[in-house]
Amino acid sequence: MNAIMETLDGLNRRLTLNLNQAAIEVEVSKRLAKVARNVRIDGFRPGKAPKNIVAARYSGEIRNEVFSEALHYEFSEAVRANNLRVAGSPSFAVVEGGAFAATFEVFPEIKIGDLSQIKLTRPVVVVADADVDRTLEVLRKQRVQFHSVEREAQQGDRIHIDYFGQIDGAAFPGGEAKDFPVVLGEGRTLKEFEGSLNGMKSGESKTFEVTFPEDYFAKELAGKTASFNVTIKSVHAPQMPEIDAAFAQSLGIAEGNVERLRDEIRTNLAREAKRRVQAKVKEQILNGLLETSPIDVPANLVALERSALMEKAVTDLKARGMKEADIKLNEAVFEPQAKRRVALGLIMDAIVLEQKISAPEDQVRAMVDEFAQSYEDPSEVVGWYYQDSARLKEAKALVLEENIVNWLLEHAQVSDESTTLEALMGNA
């Protein structure tokens, strides 16, 4: 083997390889002879075709095959001899003198920085009675029922309307509807439009103007003023259920015990709060890890991750009902996220090897059990995980990541900070 290794910019390397052409020709002859013993060619019995005819038909294919094998073998030997860790596939090119240059990237040298320089804040939350009350109100609103009333429409009412809009005396797309439902106060229509409906009664009509915002999603209407004629067809007042035994039963509390309902809500809120705290802490510690342990990332690994992120985004959009032809995504948008994911993956892999961090089976089971508690039948969810090795592998990866984060937290500067559940959830 005769290989010359060069260090290019960053993680790029180049190996110049010289192949033994005589050995290649010997191997080509051997394989041609083997093919000739079995090949079927029209006009000749099996294995009896003249060597020149067999060579004319198969030598090119066989030579390419032997050549490729020899090139990759020499590359692998040179990589081993130079103790290189190749990231991705090499690119081969012919260079002067009939040699071949293999250009490729290597994995970066990873040195974990001073983790004690990482500073982060960990939210501390206690689920209060007010949080339970607030959740109960949300649940009540989700089960609201409307009944017809003969009075002026007010906030919270659901009204049905007929409307017809014009701009400069001409109708426009989306400017007309019959029996259109509007819940006053929900903000699903323009504020100016909805505000004009307050105080109207069933059977009443009104004409008013509405100016579309400059940033309105329908560009052809942005900034324009429309005249709407609206007729109220009906007014329905909301009636929320009382928090009683029937309400508790409707939420799965068999005996209709309201206190047990409150306890379950508190438990679920505490579980969600724990997840939010873990997510916030994890984001801070991983940002700190990237800052204290910067590395170069192989461009081809970033490209693969970028493509995977874009493919996932397209799949998600299609699952939400978008047509593939309407999905306009630029892969470059995913570049920062791809770089971050690749860098973190490489650094965390190094930590796992250096610190011998693992994902014990009992810890994996505990995580699956905890996740399953938020479902109606936890045992069914646990079985779902353990029936599929791929799902279980995902759970193991989460446990491993959690253990890495916990190890990092032991070395970082962590300050606890009391907060409310509402602020943690982003509602304050």
CATH 1.10.3120 domain position(s) in the chain? 256-424
Per-residue pLDDT tens over the stretch 336-346: 999 999 999 99
| pLDDT beyond 70 at 307 | yes
Q: What is the assigned CATH class of domain 144-239?
A: alpha beta
Tokens of 414: 């962590």
Task: Identify the CATH number of the domain defined by range 256-424.
Answer: 1.10.3120
Distance CA 278, CA 357 (A): 19
DSSP category for residue 339? H
CATH 3.30.70.1050 domain position(s) in the chain? 3-106
For 3-106, CATH number out of 3.40.50.300, 3.30.360.10, 3.40.50.720, 3.30.70.1050 equals: 3.30.70.1050
Spatial neighbors of 141 by CB under 8 A, at least 6 apart, are 240
Three-state SS letters, 312-329: HHHHHHHHCCCCHHHCCC
Distance CA 106, CA 13 (A): 7
Per-residue pLDDT tens over the stretch 61-101: 888 889 889 999 999 999 999 999 999 899 999 887 778 99
Quick check: 346 and 107 in contact, CB under 8 A?
Answer: yes
pLDDT for the residue numbered 428: 47
Quick check: 122 and 414 in contact, CB under 8 A?
Answer: yes
Looking at residues 364-379, what average pLDDT do you find? 89
Q: What is the pTM of this model?
A: 0.75
CATH 3.10.50.40 domain position(s) in the chain? 144-239
